[in-house]
Amino acid sequence: MERLSARLLSWASLIDEKTLDQAHTTARMPFIHPHLALMPDAHLGKGATVGSVIPTLGAIIPAAVGVDIGCGMIAVRTAFTRGDLDGRDLAELREQIERAIPLSAGRYNRKIVATAEPRIAELEQLAEKNGIDPAAYAGNWRLQLGTLGSGNHFIEVSVDELDRVWLFLHSGSRGVGNRIAGHHITVAQRLAKQWWIELPDPDLAYLVEGTPEFTRYIRELRWAQRFALLNREEMMDRVIRQVSEFLGVPVDEQERINCHHNFTESEKHYGKQVWVSRKGAIQADAGRPGLIPGSMGTASYVVEGLGDPQSLNSSPHGAGREYSRSAARRTFSHEQLRAAMSGIEFRDTDAFIDEIPQAYKPIDQVMTDAASLVRVRHTLRQLVNVKGD
């Protein structure tokens, strides 16, 4: 860990100047307490750095939570081993998963399936209890539950160091969460202009605790965080069903971990109750299980938090980008993507060039930098990768 200023601590050994400048700018906001913690996977983001932990007194920066509220990971360890998959057509399994779960931006379910019904009912009750109308943001939000999205979201079948099969996926609150986030970022920016608040970046506009705007944001944020968690649960149940049908026997679920990495919670740190916004970071209290994926062609990790107080009990959420999507498309080729994905069943298309492993920081270095934040329990290697365009 390196102390870059009184209000900025960094665990990142691989980081560029633009990202550092952005982190310094956020750390200078007057309500940061005690300091911003920059994770090993930190890279340039909207307003605030992706891979940062931002504790605030009496205020929240909506863009510092992220536009995919509640985005995160879920993993299930099964009783299957690699031998149960040997000799089988994994392309068939990939295609079954792709048929069961709508992929890509703008893709939704055609109907509400039985497993989704109780989850949607829970979200409806939560919305009614808190005076929230999700349909004001996305009229089809119910059909979004159980959908993956695109970008770095994925579904994977992997094996650990003991050749045990894990099911692993990454997604968030989809279109409804994105629109909730966008609305409140706009509200915060409007209020800054209304009250003549000068900001170093418009995306650092904030909402003040105790105001109606803050209260509404927290209510809708928490609803979106719950949506994201249930969205992952719904998709995982569908993946389990497809694996069961593929192998012809029920899936014996041994362990399940579900964790956010774009979220806000009220926590006590350094003697004060603060709002901790983890934008591309997971909660890593001592003993808490967590998930840190690499890229679509590199290892992922099942971890246990070490409760490092200087990191505000946090850790990285993944590898972190080294190349922007446009830069990756200019730099890498379809042939390089195929080489990087050798031995992994995936949909072979140039649509994923911007997700090539080389576009990300080396996950091994990220995990080395995070050695004081988490303990590695399991290392996962992909057999099957599913992504949306």
Smallest Cα–Cα separation from 8: which of 66, 49, 69?
Answer: 49
Over residues 21-37, mean pLDDT: 97
Which band of pLDDT confidence, cut at 50, 70 and 90, is reported for residue 233? very high
Residue type, 95: E
- CA gyration radius for the chain? 20
Those residues with Cβ within 8 angstroms of residue 217's Cβ, 6 or more apart along the chain or in another chain? 60, 62, 184, 187, 207
pLDDT at 159: 98
Please give the average per-residue pLDDT across 192-215, as a whole number.
Answer: 97
**pLDDT, tens only, 205-226:** 999 999 999 999 999 999 999 9
**Contact present, 282 and 315 (Cβ < 8 Å):** yes
Mean pLDDT of the chain, nearest integer:
96
The residues facing 314 across adjacent strands are: 283
* Positions marked active-site: 317
Nearest to 12 by CA among 46, 48, 37, 45: 37
Tell the residue number behind the tokens 């709508």, with chain if given: 102
Q: What is the pLDDT of residue 206?
A: 98
Per-residue pLDDT at 258 exceeds 90: yes
Contacts of residue 170, defined as CB under 8 A and 6 or more positions apart, other chains included, come to 71, 72, 73, 152, 153, 154, 293
- For residues 116 and 234, is the Cβ–Cβ distance under 8 A? yes
CA atoms within 13 A on the CB side of 350: 8
How far apart CA 182 and CA 186 sit, in angstroms, is 6
- The answer to whether the beta carbons of residues 168 and 75 sit under 8 Å apart is yes
Residue 273 confidence (pLDDT) = 97
- How far apart (Å, rounded) are the C-alpha atoms in residues 307 and 288? 9
In this predicted structure, what is the pLDDT of residue 389?
Answer: 84
pLDDT at 47 (0 to 100): 87
| pLDDT, position 103 | 94
Domain ranges of the chain: 2-386
Q: Which two tokens stand for residue 207?
A: 């909402």
Q: Which CATH class is domain 2-386?
A: alpha beta
Instruction: Tell me which residue of 216, 270, 183, 213 sits closest to 6, measured CA to CA.
Output: 270
Condensed to tens digits (0 to 9), the pLDDT of residues 41-73 reads 999 998 899 999 999 999 999 999 999 999 999
Q: pLDDT band at 106, cuts 50/70/90?
A: confident
DSSP codes, 32-63 = B-S-EEEEEEEE--SSS-EEEEEEESSEE-HH
Does residue 34 have a cis bond before it (omega within 30 degrees)? yes
Q: How confident is the model at residue 177 (pLDDT cuts 50, 70, 90)?
A: very high
pTM: 0.96
Contacts 24+ apart (CB under 8 A), 93-98: 93/157, 93/242, 93/243, 93/246, 93/345, 93/384, 94/345, 94/346, 94/347, 94/384, 94/385, 94/386, 96/242, 96/245, 96/246, 97/155, 97/238, 97/239, 97/242, 97/384, 97/386, 98/347, 98/386
Q: Say which residue the tokens 């209000």 belong to.
A: 7
Provide the H-helix boundaries in the chain: 17-27, 62-65, 82-85, 90-100, 117-129, 141-144, 174-194, 212-247, 325-331, 334-340, 363-369
End-to-end CA distance of the chain: 37
Task: Answer yes or no: is pLDDT of 128 > 90.
Answer: yes
Q: Up-side HSE of residue 84: CA atoms within 13 Å toward CB? A: 20
Q: Beta strands 50-56 and 207-208: pairing type?
A: unpaired
pLDDT band at 104 (very low <50, low <70, confident <90, very high): confident
Residue 327: strand, helix, or coil: helix
- pLDDT, average across residues 68-89: 97
> Is pLDDT at 243 greater than 90 in this prediction?
yes
